[in-house]
Amino acid sequence: MDRRDFLRAVGLAAGVSGAGALLAACNANERSGGGALTVSPGGTLRILYDGTSQRLDPARSQSLAITFSGLIHRRLTAWKTSADGPTTVVPDLATDTGRASADGKTWTFTLKDGLKMSDGTPITSAEIKYGIERSFDPAFAGGLGYHKTLLEGGTSYSGPFKSGDLASIETPDAKTIVFHLARPYGDWPWIVSMPAFAPVPKGKGTDATYDSSPVASGPYQVASYTKGVEIRLTRNPNWDPKTDVARTGLPDEVVMQLGQDTGVMSQRLLASGGDDAHAFGAAFVNPAQLAQIRTNPAAKDQLVTSKSGALAYLALNTRRGPLANPKVRQAFQYAVDKTAYQIATAGTADLAGPVATTLITEGIVGREVFDLYPAPPTGDVAKAKQLLAEAGYPDGIQNLDFPVSTANNYADKAQAIQAALRRAGIETKLRPLDDDAWQAVATGNDDNAYDLTLTSWQPDFPSANANIQPLFGTSEIGNNGYNISRYSVPEVDALIAQAQGTVDPAAAGKLWAQADRRILQDSPIVPLIYTRNSFLHGSKVGDFAIGEFPAYPNYLQMGLAK
Where are the domains positioned within the chain?
52-251, 311-530
Quick one: average pLDDT of 136-163?
95
What pLDDT was estimated at residue 408? 82
pTM: 0.90
Question: Does position 185 have pLDDT exceeding 80, yes or no?
Answer: yes
Question: Does position 98 have pLDDT exceeding 90, yes or no?
Answer: yes
What pLDDT was estimated at residue 85? 82
pLDDT band for 506, please (50, 70, 90 cuts).
Answer: very high
What pLDDT was estimated at residue 95? 98
Quick one: average pLDDT of 177-204?
97
Q: What is the rounded distance in angstroms from the CA atom of residue 529 to the CA atom of residue 548?
A: 16
Please give the single-letter amino acid code of residue 154: G
Residues 489-502: tens digit of each pLDDT: 999 999 999 999 99
Residues 244-267: tens digit of each pLDDT: 999 999 999 999 999 999 889 999
Residues 303-317: tens digit of each pLDDT: 998 988 999 999 999
Q: What is the rounded distance in angstroms from the CA atom of residue 13 to the CA atom of residue 286?
A: 10
157 vs 294, more confident: 157
> Which strand (E) or helix (H) includes residue 286?
none
Given a contact cutoff of 8 angstroms between Cβ atoms, the answer to whether 257 and 539 are in contact is: no
Count Cα neighbours of 515 within 13 Å in the Cβ-side half-sphere: 32
What pLDDT was estimated at residue 159? 96
Q: What is the rounded distance in angstroms from the CA atom of residue 520 to the CA atom of residue 260?
A: 42
- In this structure, the strands spanning 77-80 and 426-433 are unpaired
What pLDDT was estimated at residue 225? 97
Strand arrangement of the beta sheet that strand 176-180 belongs to: 99-100, 106-110, 176-180, 169-173
Question: Does position 20 have pLDDT exceeding 90, yes or no?
Answer: no
Given a contact cutoff of 8 angstroms between Cβ atoms, the answer to whether 286 and 262 are in contact is: yes
Please give the single-letter amino acid code of residue 130: Y
Residues ≥6 apart with Cβ < 8 Å to 229: 257, 258, 259
What pLDDT was estimated at residue 368? 95
Q: What is the rounded distance in angstroms from the CA atom of residue 518 to the CA atom of residue 10?
A: 34
Q: What is the rounded distance in angstroms from the CA atom of residue 113 to the CA atom of residue 226?
A: 35
Quick one: average pLDDT of 182-191?
97
Question: Does position 456 have pLDDT exceeding 50, yes or no?
Answer: yes
Quick one: average pLDDT of 414-440?
97
Q: How far is CA 111 from the centre of its chain?
A: 27
52-251 and 311-530: identical CATH topology: no
Residues ≥6 apart with Cβ < 8 Å to 127: 117, 121, 199, 200, 201, 202
User: What are phi and psi for residue 292, nearest 5 degrees?
Assistant: -80, -40
What pLDDT was estimated at residue 35? 54
Homologous superfamily of 311-530 in CATH?
Dipeptide-binding Protein; Domain 3 (3.10.105.10)
The conformation of residue 137, written as its DSSP 8-state character, comes to S
Question: Does position 102 have pLDDT exceeding 90, yes or no?
Answer: yes
Q: What is the rounded distance in angstroms from the CA atom of residue 289 to the CA atom of residue 268?
A: 13
379 vs 33, more confident: 379
Question: Does position 12 have pLDDT exceeding 70, yes or no?
Answer: no
- In this structure, the strands spanning 452-457 and 303-305 are unpaired
What pLDDT was estimated at residue 362? 87
Query: How wide is the angle at C-alpha 336 spanned by C-alphas 335 and 342, nearest 5°?
Result: 160
Count Cα neighbours of 291 within 13 Å in the Cβ-side half-sphere: 9
Q: Output the CA–CA distances (angstroms, integers) from residue 132 to 27, 32, 78, 198, in the order listed.
A: 38, 47, 16, 8
Quick one: average pLDDT of 458-482?
95
Question: Does position 11 have pLDDT exceeding 50, yes or no?
Answer: no
Quick one: average pLDDT of 460-486?
95
CATH class of 52-251: alpha beta
Count Cα neighbours of 491 within 13 Å in the Cβ-side half-sphere: 8
Q: What is the mean pLDDT of the chain?
A: 91
Residues 394-404: tens digit of each pLDDT: 999 999 999 99
Strand arrangement of the beta sheet that strand 44-48 belongs to: 220-226, 230-235, 253-257, 44-48, 279-281
- CA nearest 532: which of 1, 6, 3? 6
